[in-house]
Structure 1
Amino acid sequence: MSNPAISSQIKEFQEYLASRHPESYSLLHRCIGLDKPFLLRSELRDILQISQEESDNGILVQSPLARIITSTEEAAVQAPWLYLAVRPSVARWEYLRIHVDTMSVEVIPVAEYLMFKERLVQGHDDPDQYRLEIDLGPFPRHSSRPGEAQSIGRGVEILNRQLSDDLLADLGEDLGNEDAHLLEFLRIHQYRGQPLLLNGEIKSITALRNILKNAETFLAKQRQDDTWDAFKVSGPLRTLGFEPGWGRTVQQMRQTMGLLTDLLARPDPMILARFLDRVPMVFSVAIVSPHGYFGQANVLGRPDTGGQVVYILDQVRALELEMRRSIHEQGLSIEPRIIVVTRLIPQSEGTTCAQRMEAIAGTHNAHILRVPFRNRAGEVLPHWISRFDVWPYLESYALEAEKELLAELGGRPDLIIGNYSDGNLVASLISRSLDITQCNIAHALEKTKYLFSDLYWEKDDAHHHFACQFTADLIAMNSADFIITSTYQEIAGTDDSIGQYESHMAFTLPGLYRVVNGIDVFDPKFNVVSPGTDANIYFPYSKRNRRLTDLHGAIDELIHGNASRPDVRGKLLDRTKPLLFSMARLDRIKNITGLVQWYGNCPKLREKANLLIVAGHVALEESGDDEESEQIRKMHELFDHFGLDTQVRWLGVHLEKTVTGELYRVVADSRGAFVQPALFEAFGLTVIEAMASGLPTFATRYGGPLEIIEDGVSGFHIDPNHGIQTAERMAGFFTNCYGNDTYWDKMSENALKRAQAHYTWANHAERLMMLSKAYGFRKYVAANLERAETQRYLEMFYTLQFRRLVESVPS
């Protein structure tokens, strides 16, 4: 393996160290002197800051060393060696090693850097000289891979350019290749045996061009609002070789046929995108989300059950509307089907999770299909299990779910969408079996949520089984035809932070395998498609005629009622104060206990606002989840330590969406605010729900909220690692609002405008359908050699590695 290309910045750094500046020697030895095996970016910057303050000549701050340290994501340390993972720009990496005594520096391959980290974790060199290395680099999926960071997450634009180039090549120099893939794609298009677009009589591109010309001549003479159902329209068109699907009206048929005519004359990315958007391709969708309690009532707030459930149900409603609209405009009388495949849980604890089929409210023909987990003996697992323990059940689950889907739909779905690690793996298995287009949605990749979870995977394997999960993630993300994310930074981070997918480019599980090229974030499979909010539930507090006033008594009881209930702690003494509201699962990452601690430590914030928390359970005995139980204990300790029972109201309740929507608005009535304090948040559905309700919002700067909120304009970013400053900023907000109504009004209005302009489910569904058609078209017409090679590699990885890991997980 050859060394990476040495950038000019690295060369400059090498020359600088060779000159042996005293400041450099001091700084690098300070890194060694901390006696820590790994240093994070923040620690390295602190070291640089100290060194700069100690240096009087100002040389260090402008030096190549300072520039390298500033762009280093992590350092691995074992005297006298210092290994650096340098990230000079988004998704660009260089690996260096420095001998701090001789001040020599060299560029090293990523594998060598990973092996050094393994040595630090294990305390010795790996005895296996042939440790498995995962390298997907030799399998390029796209010839037109972009190289600019600004192209990341805009995959379909690059894909359409590639497809138009491929189409041009396929048609031949004279655009007359009679065996072009496009013709075959149009000829075989059908729905459950019903031909669409073209019948089998059209044998060549020349014939296709001729019938398009004849069709235009014929349709130009018809009433433009006539439909295909009129025999005077459909009869002659069928004689020419056409089938339904070109459009509902004559005018729409002419537009679609015109786009195809233009495409055959001059393949162009924009024309191709517009044409594919009109092609009837997606009539049924399967959405896979196995873990947690997936239902429509009494599930939110239960372990592993939160934003993902809300996301999928809202997505389904919007997707069905878009599919019905699209199919209608294509001139077809086909009822779309959407099935959400989740887990059947016999001991469902007052939910509908023991019910095999459940219609989804607000839809015409969308359902939840529940399939059980079975143990190795084939027996149904009766109780809930953590999302970290699902791995032994997924293969048999996928096989059973596939059979159930085929039976319910009467055939293969046209698109399968996986959710989270388990759903994405199941979607990969079903997609491979049925040869259907696969879309992945991660929601959150656990590797970035738990620090060093890859390096120390063995220490926590009994609880989290990260080796299984990270292996499943690698397989699924490389199997998918396309991946949608809520934000850009989910893919590639920012200038100062790594993206969730980017973190899978290179990592190691010491003693198991190392990944030298796990995923390419420049791959055109990545697309940013932000979700939205249900506008029927989350609407502005100022819309008085729409307010659910019948719920106000119950909501007042929630906020100010009796504190003797087992699912409540705290009774607010001063009802005149505005409410600072937060709602999330009660786990470490959501950081609700961190928020309570900030509040308890800040007298000014306690003076200005009451804190309202909706999270988890209040009674420890009600929780069946270890992580939640730990957080419950910590919450009670904080209440006791800070004496919060008259200023904080903690509700351990599961609220229906309609109640939640009105609760946001009641908090806005109090001139309050919403806070999302997570250590990391992949997107932040509650953030846009609060903003869509008109609540000024504070949210973590780590993850999606960094893109959702314009800091100081439509809300406020907070750093959960600096709780004192965060509490002071929130206190400052309420101080500014006192005696200045216009300040609160302005922040509320700006939050509303931001949510309404950028985060709607209608836009999400329209874009998702467009992507499914573009990537479905590529799946058919593009050469499949590269895909097949990748798939066989992943199958081997699944069979030889994932299955072996799963055997060690209790079931």
Structure 2
Amino acid sequence: MLELIHSIVNSEEHIDLHQFLHQLRWQNKSYLLRNDILDAFNDYCKSLQKPESFRNTSQVSKLIYHTQEIILENETCCLVVRPRIGHQQVFHIAEDLQVEPMSVQELLDLRDRFVNRFHPNEGGIFEIDFHPFYDYSPVIRDFKNIGKGVQFLNHYLSSKLQESQQLQEKLFKFLSLHNYNGTKLLINQHIQNHQQLSQQIKLALDFLNSYSPTTPYTEFRFELQDKGFEAGWGNTAGRIQESLELLDGLIDSPDHQTLETFLSRIPMIFHIVLVSLHGWFGQEGVLGRPDTGGQVVYVLDQAKNLEQQLKEDITLAGLDILNVQPKVIILSRLIPNSDGTRCNQRLEKVYGTKNVWILRVPFREFNRKLTQNWISRFEIWPYLETYTIDAEKELLAEFNGKPDLVIGNYSDGNLVAFLLARRLKITQCNIAHALEKSKYLFSNLYWQDLEEKYHFSLQYTADLIAMNAANFIISSTYQEIVGTPESAGQYESYKCFTMPELYHVVDGIELFSPKFNLVPPGVNESYFFPYTKTDERFYSECDRLENLLFNLEDPNLVYGKLDNPNKQPIFSMGRLDRIKNLTGLAECFGKSEELQERCNLILVAGKLRIEDSADHEEASEIEKLYRIIEQYNLHGKIRWLGVRLSKSDSGETYRLIADCQGIFVQPALFEAFGLTVLEAMISGLPTFATQFGGPSEIIQNGINGFYINPTRLEEMAQVILEFVNKCDHNPDYWLRVSQQAIDRVLKNYTWKIHTARLLSLARIYGFWNYTSKENLQDLYRYLETIFHLVFKPRAQKLLAQHIQR
């Protein structure tokens, strides 16, 4: 980018760059983000009547396109440029267009000055820099491969196995470690080193050739033990032969595919902890309460399917003879004043499972007025260290030993996962779901102004600790990590930032680390399945739900009576908050008379009355929705259901809309993933979803769904109308998009795919962690230093405030 800027400065275009920067100084803003910059550039081009070629292909336009921030200071400006995904450059441009690169430290100092929090005469500021700690680890080079960490790691490990006798010995020792409740697995004392292992594998393979592939392991178990091989290789002669051939190949001529397939078979995961700490966590009566929703649904579905996958893996490994029983525990918080929910129960079995439990551990009673009740996710930080100590004891008792894997959810759960993993020396996986830092603009810059309400200094410090400590990180989408060519990702926002007067993050996360992996969640196929599966549908509920959707007149449940219930339905379902933007969809519908003539709008959106909501933002959106209905006179054309549907009702509702050849619209201003998008698509509904965030990776535009820009309402209406018109001219068009939506989900977004991939990752990163653990100690000490010197004092300060309440 420096070459591009120099090229501009040394060409006729330097006049345009100079005039554009000069024009920016006359605006009210001194800190411009990308959208501001693009708008200002369009205004500049319009005011000077610049040709289209200049706007789109000039060198100045290319620079503007890649500029993420412009900070104006005195007669100079700073350009933060993102030439490609995962990379950032910073330049200082003087009034006379003299250009100099700026260091990260200089950029952070400038941002501090912008908010008047810079004190150069009072010494330096604590700098956090994780870059040196990734020197031990291989790093992905091509940004297109970010999120494919395990593939990269397998290539790296297999090449090292080929080169290093030491790593082969580590593989032997790793296989020798495994046991279940004290019973040896895989390799016994008859094999003492990796050379002997290679010899015995060949003897075992010759022995297995005399058996039919379907011969049960129990028929030759003791003969294999004499050769040094215990249970865990397979349940039949054929399966064991496959496993030993894979290992033989790894020893003689390792390759990445063999390594992944082999490590994915190792029986090393039996007991799993899922940490979902904040909010009301339960199976009934919790959805719709503060800090719950998609997280509860996700974790419950994940836990159930992990148990099922573990059972399958245990059977295939031949461990039924040892009566190996998997166990999954969802670790959450016990809330004594549980308001009619089961959140005051220590232990609750998860429905439809054999050995999946919700284990609730209380916060210690520092102030019973607080700790006896639910505490907001923004306020729980002072309790997490003592909670971890108490939870560790409870988990050891429930598992009768250590778990094998801990999976954190959200910032608080990931911090507890880090603390548990350090204490128990087990593999740690992080799932962020959504990082708050991306939601609140400039929240790190103005953290002191927001601290009393949000305590971002604690949350962002916890995020930095947990994401760098994790052995592997699961992301639902590529964008979650590094965004798009136009915008930075959620994790990328932690790469470089300042918390003025607290610390500077010079390098907060290695985005090219192989710890990042894309493993999107699945859709629960027990409730959400195609409308065409007539033999599986809940027809006993159809009449009730159909009446609710189209005809029922009950002011407590429904607002709006449809003049013509037979019109094609436009359907949406979600929370009434600003980001979900259901009011934006209503306004889009209101602005398009043609849409109103052709379709009805049906919304399932929580509450109908302002007085029923304790959430300020929800109350504001309720008021806004009523205002839109009146403004555009939508009476008879819109139906608003103030209900919260169960999973089974939600699934049948999607299918009833599909029966009417309706469509589903997800109009969020930003969506980290988009579970409702999956639910609608697998039901067979042509789906229109926001282009901002995860849905743009789920949907293939124009094939199995459609992108919409929720900030451009007329354009959004036009996209929907084009589909409706195509369906009129070609009745098979709706059916084609519907079937392609179903196929897309079944191929890529099932819980079976998710859990199999997650357990494969846990095994592979478990091996990687074992082979590189000596190199990780410096990182862990650094993380503990940040925890004890930054996080803990601030948490104790907040606790002191809680005690006084």
Contact 2:521–2:751 (CA under 8 A) maintained in structure 1:
yes
Contact 2:365–2:372 (CA under 8 A) maintained in structure 1:
no
Contact 2:109–2:118 (CA under 8 A) maintained in structure 1:
no
Query: After the TM superposition, which of the residue ranges 287-296 and 719-728 deviates more from structure 2?
Result: 719-728
Check 1:127–1:371 CA distance in 2 against 1; reply closer, same or farther (3 A cut): farther
- Which amino acid in the other structure matches residue 5 of structure 2? F
SS at match of 2:70: strand
Check 1:561–1:639 CA distance in 2 against 1; reply closer, same or farther (3 A cut): same
**Match in the other structure for 2:299:** 312
Check 1:379–1:285 CA distance in 2 against 1; reply closer, same or farther (3 A cut): farther
The aligned runs of 1:449-464 (5 Å cut-off) are 449-464=439-454
Mapped partners of 1:128, 1:750: distance in 2: 63
Mapped partners of 2:312, 2:260: distance in 1: 18
Mapped partners of 2:40, 2:652: distance in 1: 49
Check 1:641–1:293 CA distance in 2 against 1; reply closer, same or farther (3 A cut): farther
Query: After the TM superposition, which of the residue ranges 82-91 and 128-137 deviates more from structure 2?
Result: 128-137
Q: Are residue 188 (structure 1) and residue 177 (structure 2) matched? A: yes
Q: Are residue 779 (structure 1) and residue 780 (structure 2) matched? A: no
Question: How far 1:724 sits from its partner (Å)?
Answer: 3.0
**Match in the other structure for 2:701:** 711
Check 1:570–1:59 CA distance in 2 against 1; reply closer, same or farther (3 A cut): closer
Contact 1:448–1:500 (CA under 8 A) maintained in structure 2:
yes
Tell me which of 25, 36, 47 is aligned to 1:43: 36
**Match in the other structure for 1:26:** 19
Q: Are residue 198 (structure 1) and residue 192 (structure 2) matched? A: no
- Which amino acid in the other structure matches residue 580 of structure 1? I
Q: Are residue 216 (structure 1) and residue 216 (structure 2) matched? A: no
Mapped partners of 2:626, 2:379: distance in 1: 28
SS at match of 1:458: helix
Q: Are residue 354 (structure 1) and residue 344 (structure 2) matched? A: yes
Runs of 5+ unmatched residues, structure 1: 1-8
Question: How far 1:741 sits from its partner (Å)?
Answer: 2.5
Question: How far 1:325 sits from its partner (Å)?
Answer: 0.9
Contact 1:13–1:68 (CA under 8 A) maintained in structure 2:
yes
Q: Are residue 163 (structure 1) and residue 152 (structure 2) matched? A: no
- What root-mean-square deviation, in Å, do the aligned CA atoms of Structure 1 and Structure 2 show? 2.2
Query: Normalised by the size of structure 2, how large is the TM-score?
Result: 0.94
Mapped partners of 1:714, 1:315: distance in 2: 26
Q: Are residue 258 (structure 1) and residue 252 (structure 2) matched? A: no
Mapped partners of 1:378, 1:164: distance in 2: 55
**Match in the other structure for 2:148:** 154
Tell me which of 769, 793, 806 is aligned to 2:795: 806
Mapped partners of 2:368, 2:290: distance in 1: 25
Question: How far 1:69 sits from its partner (Å)?
Answer: 1.2
Mapped partners of 1:432, 1:36: distance in 2: 46
Contact 2:4–2:63 (CA under 8 A) maintained in structure 1:
no
**Match in the other structure for 1:237:** 224
Tell me which of 425, 431, 437 is aligned to 2:427: 437
Mapped partners of 1:661, 1:128: distance in 2: 61
Query: After the TM superposition, which of the residue ranges 499-508 and 569-578 deviates more from structure 2?
Result: 569-578
Mapped partners of 2:287, 2:487: distance in 1: 31
- Which amino acid in the other structure matches residue 13 of structure 1? I
**Match in the other structure for 2:744:** 754
Tell me which of 797, 801, 806 is aligned to 2:786: 797
Contact 1:301–1:653 (CA under 8 A) maintained in structure 2:
no
Q: Are residue 488 (structure 1) and residue 481 (structure 2) matched? A: no
Check 1:458–1:562 CA distance in 2 against 1; reply closer, same or farther (3 A cut): farther
Tell me which of 568, 578, 582 is aligned to 1:578: 568
Question: How far 1:226 sits from its partner (Å)?
Answer: 2.3
**Match in the other structure for 2:466:** 476
Tell me which of 98, 104, 113 is aligned to 1:104: 98
Mapped partners of 1:699, 1:61: distance in 2: 28
Mapped partners of 2:64, 2:365: distance in 1: 50
The number of residue pairs the alignment matches comes to 794
Query: Normalised by the size of structure 1, how large is the TM-score?
Result: 0.93
Contact 1:170–1:181 (CA under 8 A) maintained in structure 2:
no
Q: Are residue 120 (structure 1) and residue 110 (structure 2) matched? A: no
Mapped partners of 2:590, 2:451: distance in 1: 35
**Match in the other structure for 1:69:** 64
Question: How far 1:140 sits from its partner (Å)?
Answer: 1.1
Residues 234-256 of structure 1 deviation map (CA, whole Å, 9 limit, x = unaligned): 22222222211111111211221
Question: How far 1:663 sits from its partner (Å)?
Answer: 0.4
Q: Are residue 86 (structure 1) and residue 81 (structure 2) matched? A: yes
**Match in the other structure for 1:95:** 90
SS at match of 2:42: helix
Question: How far 1:688 sits from its partner (Å)?
Answer: 0.6
**Match in the other structure for 1:17:** 9
**Match in the other structure for 1:3:** none
Runs of 4+ aligned structure 1 residues displaced above 6 Å come to none
Residues 671-701 of structure 1 deviation map (CA, whole Å, 9 limit, x = unaligned): 2211111111111010010000011111111
Tell me which of 527, 540, 543 is aligned to 2:533: 543
Check 1:346–1:563 CA distance in 2 against 1; reply closer, same or farther (3 A cut): farther
Check 1:346–1:736 CA distance in 2 against 1; reply closer, same or farther (3 A cut): farther
Q: Are residue 517 (structure 1) and residue 507 (structure 2) matched? A: yes
SS at match of 1:407: helix
Residues 759-792 of structure 1 deviation map (CA, whole Å, 9 limit, x = unaligned): 111111111111010001111122x233111111
Question: How far 1:602 sits from its partner (Å)?
Answer: 3.0
Check 1:439–1:39 CA distance in 2 against 1; reply closer, same or farther (3 A cut): same
Query: After the TM superposition, which of the residue ranges 439-448 and 257-266 deviates more from structure 2?
Result: 257-266
Mapped partners of 2:389, 2:576: distance in 1: 34
Residues 367-423 of structure 1 deviation map (CA, whole Å, 9 limit, x = unaligned): 121222334257882333332222222222222222211111111111111111111
The aligned runs of 1:211-610 (5 Å cut-off) are 211-230=200-219, 233-333=220-320, 334-377=324-367, 381-560=371-550, 562-610=552-600
Mapped partners of 2:369, 2:155: distance in 1: 50
Question: How far 1:31 sits from its partner (Å)?
Answer: 2.1
Contact 1:674–1:696 (CA under 8 A) maintained in structure 2:
yes
Check 1:107–1:262 CA distance in 2 against 1; reply closer, same or farther (3 A cut): same
Mapped partners of 1:77, 1:382: distance in 2: 49
Query: After the TM superposition, which of the residue ranges 269-278 and 622-631 deviates more from structure 2?
Result: 622-631
SS at match of 1:342: strand
SS at match of 2:703: coil
Check 1:293–1:652 CA distance in 2 against 1; reply closer, same or farther (3 A cut): farther
Check 1:160–1:468 CA distance in 2 against 1; reply closer, same or farther (3 A cut): same
**Match in the other structure for 1:788:** 777
Question: How far 1:310 sits from its partner (Å)?
Answer: 1.7
SS at match of 1:711: coil
- Which amino acid in the other structure matches residue 265 of structure 1? D
SS at match of 1:389: coil
SS at match of 1:76: strand
Mapped partners of 1:417, 1:165: distance in 2: 29
Contact 1:141–1:786 (CA under 8 A) maintained in structure 2:
no
Check 1:614–1:386 CA distance in 2 against 1; reply closer, same or farther (3 A cut): farther
SS at match of 1:73: strand
Question: How far 1:126 sits from its partner (Å)?
Answer: 5.4
State the identity %. 44
Query: After the TM superposition, which of the residue ranges 216-225 and 483-492 deviates more from structure 2?
Result: 216-225
Residues 106-165 of structure 1 deviation map (CA, whole Å, 9 limit, x = unaligned): 111112112111211227555543111111011116542111011101100111122223
**Match in the other structure for 1:659:** 649
